[in-house]
Chain A
Amino acid sequence: MAEPRVIAEPRVIIVGAGPAGVRAAEVLVASGVRPVVIDEGRRDGGQIYRRQPEGFTRGYDSLYGTEADRALSLHETFDGLKDKIDYRPDTLVWNISQGRVWTNANGRVDDLEYDALLLCTGATDRVMPVKGWQYAGVFSLGASQVALKSQAVSIGRRVVFMGSGPLLYLVASQYVKAGANVVAVLDTAPFFARIKALPKLLAEPGVLWNGIMLTRMLQKSGVRVMTGVKPLEILGEPETGVSSLQFEAGGKVHEIACDAVAMGHHLRPETQLADLARCAFRFDAVTRQWLPVVDADGRSSVDGVYLAGDGARILGARSAEASGQLAAMTLLSDFGIAASDRWALRQAVANYARFATGLAEAFPWPHEQIADLADDVVLCRCEGVTVGEMRRVDAREANRAKAFNRVGMGRCQGRYCGLAGAEVLAAARDLPVEAIGRLRGQAPVKPISVGVAEDEA
């Protein structure tokens, strides 16, 4: 925005009460703006600083480890903001259109007009399909952490962590500390990728050090940690679920008995709302994902729509706080309310971006393994569509393929199959993955009960 859009009291809506949304709200409130803060969760905190239900008694150290102080600060900040904002927990934003946000809170539908919209929608796991991943007992990596953090349970009695990325080691170590039985941590990334990425990882030496300590802790506790792994098959029974996992490493086939598998390859941003708000997207070659276009200050391509945190790109929790503040300051200055110097925050976010690129290179998305999956592997868990069906589809573009084979149309709306589906199709057509395009976000971004949308007056 070149000229400030002067509106006496702009109506600002923030979607997401994780680190990005909370810090953004704090900045706005300090300048006298009273934003609406909407979050689908029952409590604030978002993913990393997810709060346990009332009545649970574990302390901050046990829940958040090295990040306990940051968690406490974020929660206290939000508690202090509650009577200065219009906070709507337990409320899903399921559409954005015509300058309005459409919400659903336990069946009650509402729409709210905004002058400025700040999307802080966070991320979900990026997963790679494996033969047998439809069995009960296979969960996303994030799921395994949610189980522990918010419910104090382990997803199984013999748990394998498989995939890649920093969260793989983090969650496995949280399981070990909490007394769960972790039988193996299997990383698809080769170890040398980490060495190569070291210069970029040194952008955040503290975070890097924490990561190294985690791996050491796992090895010391006797957990089998292997790199350069190729997953082969999750074995099990339809009735009872997972019983073991087969994989290849060091030229040999291994099998490990387990009753739970937590799988994830780092994260993917939740961008459906940005899409519905008509934000432009770009292909990011390092992560092989489509990301909403965002400038160095947090503006999207659409006037009045701002993006922050992992929902814009995966830069981690610390960056989410900084980018939330930054986007809120930009918003204030665009509306002629307050102009503060954003230089330091811009620098901080740029540094986190360098670190995040290092992580993406150290723990790459194994697209060649996906291209190699057998025809009978389930690609879409929701509707049982196989990799072979994707290969045979009469299409070369993601949305067209979806119209034929429904990959991206099921319960998860493409969150857990979309990226892998694009890799399968790209390899089968011998096209670069960006040529396959991206699944467009559609309203409602999550299913809402039939009847809800109509019967509310």
Chain B
Amino acid sequence: MNGRFTRLAETDRPKVNIIVDGQPVQAMAGDTLMVAMLSSGTSLRSAEFGPEKRAGFCLMGACQDCWVWTADGGRLRACSTPVENGQQISTSQPEVTWPNHG
């Protein structure tokens, strides 16, 4: 499938591989997570207050529309987080797990 973003230059960078919702996604070193995900897909997550998918809005860390999650439930701002090889990303918030007491 075509991605939402198109690359216009800087395409000689080394490749890196990440996993998004269990699917392999190829990206480039220096990409933000957002660019990695939107160069091969069309959205980052589902809206909480509407039926539509979301793909970020400001790209400068101001709107928080681009949150995705790591496998262990950590929240990442996709527009300002660089990709790392082998990263596992979930586009929906993993179930909240509370630490066990005792």
Contacts and interface: CB of A to CB of B under 8 A. Distances in A.
Contacts, number: 146
Contacts of A138: 57
Contacts of A240: 42, 53
Main secondary structure on A side of the interface with B? loop
A447 B64 CA distance: 8
Contact of B54 (A56, A62, A136, A153): A136
Contacts of B12: 57
Interface string B54-67: 11111111111101
Contacts of B75: 449
A53 B30 contact: yes
B94 to A, nearest CB: 14
A288 to B, nearest CB: 20
A241 B7 contact: no
Contacts of B49: 382-384
A43 to B, nearest CB: 12
Contact of B61 (A40, A155, A259): A40
A138 B58 CA distance: 10
A139 B57 contact: yes
Interface residues of A, number: 54
B59 A136 contact: no
B9 A136 contact: no
Contacts of A58: 9-10
A271 interface: no
A260 interface: yes
Given A152-B9, A180-B8, A134 B50 contact: yes
Interface in A119-141: 124-125, 134-140
Given A146-B59, A382-B65, A155 B10 contact: no
A415 B42 CA distance: 25
Interface residues of B, number: 44
A251 interface: no
Contact of B58 (A55, A56, A143): A143
A241 B43 contact: yes
Contact of A142 (B7, B35, B58, B64): B58
Main secondary structure on B side of the interface with A? loop
Contact of B30 (A55, A143, A259, A384): A55
A238 B58 contact: no
B22 interface: no
Contact of B4 (A47, A62, A155, A180): A155
Contact of B82 (A53, A157, A449): A53
B42 A55 contact: no
A140 B54 CA distance: 13
B58 A152 contact: no
Given A56-B10, A153-B5, A142 B59 contact: yes
A446 B58 contact: no
Contacts of B80: 42
A154 B74 CA distance: 28
B38 to A, nearest CB: 8
B90 to A, nearest CB: 16
B4 A156 contact: yes
A154 to B, nearest CB: 5
A154 B39 CA distance: 10
Contacts of A146: 59-60, 79
A238 B51 contact: yes
Given A124-B58, A151-B10, A239-B52, 4 more contacts: A134-B50, A139-B57, A153-B5, A241-B53
**Shortest 9 CB-CB distances between A and B: which pairs?**
A384-B49, A411-B64, A136-B55, A143-B59, A238-B52, A152-B10, A146-B59, A53-B30, A153-B5
9 contacts: A55-B29, A137-B4, A138-B57, A146-B59, A151-B32, A179-B8, A411-B64, A416-B57, A449-B74
Interface of A: 40, 42, 47, 52-58, 62, 124-125, 134-140, 142-143, 146-148, 151-157, 178-180, 238-241, 259-260, 270, 378, 381-384, 411-412, 415-416, 446-447, 449
